[in-house]
Amino acid sequence: MGKGGSILGIIGILLGAGGLGFGFIVWSTQNSMQANLAAQDIWSQYDGDSFTVNPAYTYLEIPNMSIAFDLTATASIHILFTCSEVIFPVPSDYSSISFFFKVDGIRLTAPRVDVGSIDGGSIVDYFSVVFQHFIPSFSPGAHNISVMVFSRVTTNYVRYCSLTIQSIAD
């Protein structure tokens, strides 16, 4: 191998060693950040029953998807909601269900999840919904978090709903 090949070999070794070093730094930083998170409490609610979103064009709370809890100190809150959704498409229109979190009596406009179908390509559509939100530095005291839905069609429904709230020490 000539002089040019040796130089390319050395450059390759240096780049490889630099990549390994950078990868180690990123890996060790992520592990130390994750180690600082300490879950304080976890509250959970599950309901396997179906809930038809009727009447349409109305914000409705999903039954049994509300959790009341107390925080003794300021903490960050992670909210996770999952469900199965059944949509009955409307020809030449959009049929959907929108999901919102309601925190201490106030419906949050963001984040929100819109799930549905357009132009009625099938008779019925099934979706899995996963919706989460993180609230940093939530004040101590009594709180209530629930899930609300809004539908354009009276026949759409949700089922197999689960709501989990986790507090994380600040």
In this structure, the answer to whether residues 43 and 31 fall within a common structural domain is no
Quick: pLDDT tens for 101-138.
Answer: 999 999 999 999 988 877 666 778 888 999 999 999 99
Determine the straight-line distance between the first and last CA of the chain, rounded to whole angstroms: 59
- Cβ atoms of residues 55 and 134 within 8 Å: no
The residue with greater pLDDT, 7 or 2, is: 7
In this structure, the answer to whether residues 25 and 86 fall within a common structural domain is no
In this structure, the answer to whether residues 23 and 90 fall within a common structural domain is no
Give the domain extent around 9.
1-36
pLDDT at 2: 66
CATH number at residue 67: 2.60.120.760
In this structure, the answer to whether residues 137 and 156 fall within a common structural domain is yes
**Band (40; pLDDT cuts 50, 70, 90):** confident
Long-range contacts (CB closer than 8 Å, 24 or more residues apart) made by 21-24: none
In this structure, the answer to whether residues 112 and 46 fall within a common structural domain is yes
pLDDT surpassing 70 at residue 37: no
Percentage of the chain beyond pLDDT 70 is 85
In this structure, the answer to whether residues 67 and 28 fall within a common structural domain is no
Please state the domain count of the chain. 2
